């Protein structure tokens, strides 16, 4: 499959708004609760723990599938893989199914890293995000510090240019989507 087709496939997978679709089953739009973003946290608030867990797993999977196929099965490398690893996050953050609005893309990022490294970076990311959130209680700072921890880990233990470039590109989007979190008291 040519690179443009991979990009469209990965973007559209990422754009699937499972939070909105599944929360409608409860009669509440997940965008009407919490911070208004269509994601697992607001699905949890809208419909409870099972809905939140289902959306989280689907949001992770919608990125892990195309990225994992491209990287692990078809062995894509270089700039095509960099763009494919970014496309699901972009799709989640700016979904055409939601008039180019979307969530913060954290679960989509986790899925992309599962596709790229299987367990290595996702395990570090989850442990770091949990640690920093327990300390700061704010997702914006927790995300920033987690991205820095992943970057430091990659530089020291796994200095693969593709992974470092992917982290840089994804970090720009993730931090942009978290910008309102830093403004909250």
Across 22-50, average pLDDT: 81
Q: What share of the chain has pLDDT > 90, as a percent?
A: 65
Task: Please check the confidence at residue 56 and state whether its pLDDT lies above 80.
Answer: yes
Q: How confident is the model at residue 185 (pLDDT cuts 50, 70, 90)?
A: low
Report the pLDDT value the prediction gives residue 79, as an integer from 0 to 100.
Answer: 95
Express each pLDDT in 147-184 by its tens digit: 999 999 999 999 999 999 999 999 999 999 888 776 66
Q: Which residue has the higher pLDDT, 172 or 46?
A: 172
Q: How confident is the model at residue 113 (pLDDT cuts 50, 70, 90)?
A: very high
Task: Please check the confidence at residue 49 and state whether its pLDDT lies above 70.
Answer: yes
Sketch the domain layout of the chain as residue ranges.
Answer: 3-183
DSSP label of 25: G
| CA angle (58 as vertex; 49, 158 as ends), nearest 5 | 110
Paired tokens of 153: 């880990």
pTM of the predicted structure, to 2 decimals: 0.91
Express each pLDDT in 121-139 by its tens digit: 999 999 999 999 898 877 7
Q: Are 64 and 88 in contact (CB under 8 A)?
A: no
């Amino acid at each position: 499959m040519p690179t443009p087709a991979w990009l469209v496939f990965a973007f559209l997978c990422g754009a699937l708004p499972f939070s909105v679709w599944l929360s409608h089953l409860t009669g509440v739009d997940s965008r009407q609760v919490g911070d208004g973003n269509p994601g697992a946290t607001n699905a949890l608030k809208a419909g409870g723990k099972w809905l939140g867990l289902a959306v989280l797993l689907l949001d992770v999977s919608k990125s892990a599938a195309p990225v994992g196929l491209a990287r692990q099965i078809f062995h894509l490398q270089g700039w095509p893989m960099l763009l494919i690893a970014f496309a699901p996050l972009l799709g989640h953050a700016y979904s055409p199914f939601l008039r180019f609005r979307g969530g913060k893309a954290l679960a989509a990022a986790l899925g992309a890293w599962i596709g790229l490294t299987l367990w290595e970076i996702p395990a570090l990311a989850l442990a770091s995000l949990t640690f920093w959130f327990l300390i700061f209680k704010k997702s914006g700072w927790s995300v920033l510090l987690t991205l820095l921890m992943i970057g430091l880990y990659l530089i020291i233990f796994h200095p693969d240019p593709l992974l470092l470039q992917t982290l840089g590109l994804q970090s720009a989007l993730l931090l942009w989507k978290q910008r309102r979190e830093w403004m909250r008291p």
